[in-house]
Structure 1
Amino acid sequence: MALQQTVEQTVAGLGYDLVEIERSAGGLLRVTIDLPWTGPNSEAAAAGAPEPFITVEDCEKVTRQLQFALEVDGAEYKRLEVSSPGIDRPLRNQQDFERFAGEVIDITLKAPMGAAAAGQVSANRKKFRGTLERVADADGKPGWQIVWSEEPAAKPGQKISKKRVPAPLQALGFALDELREARLAPIVDFNGRRPKPGTAVSD
């Protein structure tokens, strides 16, 4: 069985979502897992409870099971690391985008926007950071956009004039197959909500 398939089946069999598999120099196999999304209509979401997150114990459980499964398959690796996604979690599929709607994300397009779509933005630009929002196209089909402002961030202690006109919001609509990469923006929230720090366990 291929390594990817072994990892996917093992992680899913334990009740987790596989986020990412990376093979690094030196034989390191890094597996990133997350708890399955229960959706916006779950009891916890309705009660306003914070979304649960991966613990060290979760990583240890998956590590033990993966070590066994990979040994059975004769997979070649020197070190296994199982971790939570951390604050720059990749967004890989439609469910990820549904789950993190309203969050600030970083996207990289496969190709530049082109002059026709650029407007106020450089036509050669590929990278954007903004708030992820659901939209509907002309046919009413669901789609996605990010919304941002080019307003420079205020420096600590800087006074902002009330008369200053804020920079206009800009929006970029996109399809998932137009993206080279999408991740949650690594913004630390000191109010204790989200994002949550990642955990990692190595054998």
Structure 2
Amino acid sequence: MTSALTDRIGQLIAPSLESMGYEIVRIRYTGGARPVLQIMAERMSDGGMEVEDCETVSHAVSALLDVEDPVSEAYSLEVSSPGIDRPLTRRKDFERYAGHDARVELHQPIDGRKRFKGLLTGLDGDAVKMELNGVRPEDAAVTLPLDDIADAKLVLTDRLIEASLKESKAREKARRKTEETE
């Protein structure tokens, strides 16, 4: 049911968020004493997401969900950025972060293994290519079907932090330049 619910929520909110310049990275709904609906999003223009963006998305999503009411019980809404060690949920995430370390978990095992950690090296058709850590060199290269990926996330490394800081500085520079021309 959770997958059907998050799919429904995605269908409800994606068009509005896209028209506002945002893209959904992931939607998760967790039950419990106080269920939580987590919306992870980023700006389509540059992949950034500031506190103000989270607030804007939160207000829009709240209004849409109040009208459509897809969740029958009380819940908390959390809107966030993907963060530095972000989840990889879309084809373009695997392309964009090739050259960085990631953890990938599959729905079905390949050669008895469901969890993989290593360097993303790109895509090959509908599969993610990785160089695994801590295995024999002849076993290091793997190809994992995109459709079989249950969960994938970047691993926090110095290289990832450096790349993230570089992107953040470039976004800030572009923002200041835009403000100066207005």
TM-score normalised by L of structure 1: 0.64
CA apart distance, 1:32: 0.6
Hey, what's the Cα distance between the residues in 2 that align with 1:75 and 1:112? 34
Which position in structure 1 is the counterpart of 2:56? 61
CA apart distance, 1:7: 2.2
Deviations 1:54-94 (A, max 9, x none): 10011011111112222222344432111001233222222
Q: Does residue 90 of structure 2 align to residue 82 of structure 1?
A: no
Matches within 5 A, 1:148-159: 148-150=132-134
Name the SS of the counterpart of 1:58 in structure 2: helix
Which position in structure 1 is the counterpart of 2:176? none
CA apart distance, 1:29: 1.6
Q: Does residue 153 of structure 2 align to residue 183 of structure 1?
A: yes
Hey, what's the Cα distance between the residues in 2 that align with 1:82 and 1:97? 23
Match of 2:128 among 141, 144, 153: 144
Higher relative contact order (CA 8 A, sep 6+): 1
> What is the letter of the counterpart of residue 148 of structure 1?
L
Structure 1 unaligned regions, length at least 5 = 39-50, 115-123, 152-166, 197-203
Q: Against the structure 1 CA distance between its residues 72 and 99, is the aligned structure 2 distance closer, same or farther, given a 3 Å change threshold?
A: same
Which position in structure 2 is the counterpart of 1:111? 108
CA apart distance, 1:179: 2.0
Hey, what's the Cα distance between the residues in 1 that align with 2:161 and 2:85? 18
Deviations 1:12-53 (A, max 9, x none): 2211110111222313221110222x6xxxxxxxxxxxx652
Match of 1:126 among 82, 91, 114: 114
Structure 2 unaligned regions, length at least 5 = 1-7, 168-182
Hey, what's the Cα distance between the residues in 1 that align with 2:70 and 2:126? 41
Counterpart contact for 2:126–2:145, Cα < 8 Å: no
Q: Which structure carries more strand by proportion?
A: 2
Name the SS of the counterpart of 1:130 in structure 2: strand
CA apart distance, 1:175: 2.1
Larger radius of gyration: 1
Name the SS of the counterpart of 1:112 in structure 2: strand
Counterpart contact for 2:126–2:146, Cα < 8 Å: no
CA apart distance, 1:125: 2.2
Hey, what's the Cα distance between the residues in 2 that align with 1:34 and 1:74? 24
Q: Which structure carries more helix by proportion?
A: 2
> What is the letter of the counterpart of residue 32 of structure 1?
M
Which position in structure 2 is the counterpart of 1:155? none
Counterpart contact for 1:146–1:172, Cα < 8 Å: yes
Hey, what's the Cα distance between the residues in 1 that align with 2:35 and 2:123? 43
CA apart distance, 1:148: 2.9
TM-score normalised by L of structure 2: 0.70
Hey, what's the Cα distance between the residues in 1 that align with 2:137 and 2:151? 26
Counterpart contact for 1:149–1:168, Cα < 8 Å: no
- Report the count of equivalent residues: 155
Deviations 1:151-183 (A, max 9, x none): 8xxxxxxxxxxxxxxx74721122212322222
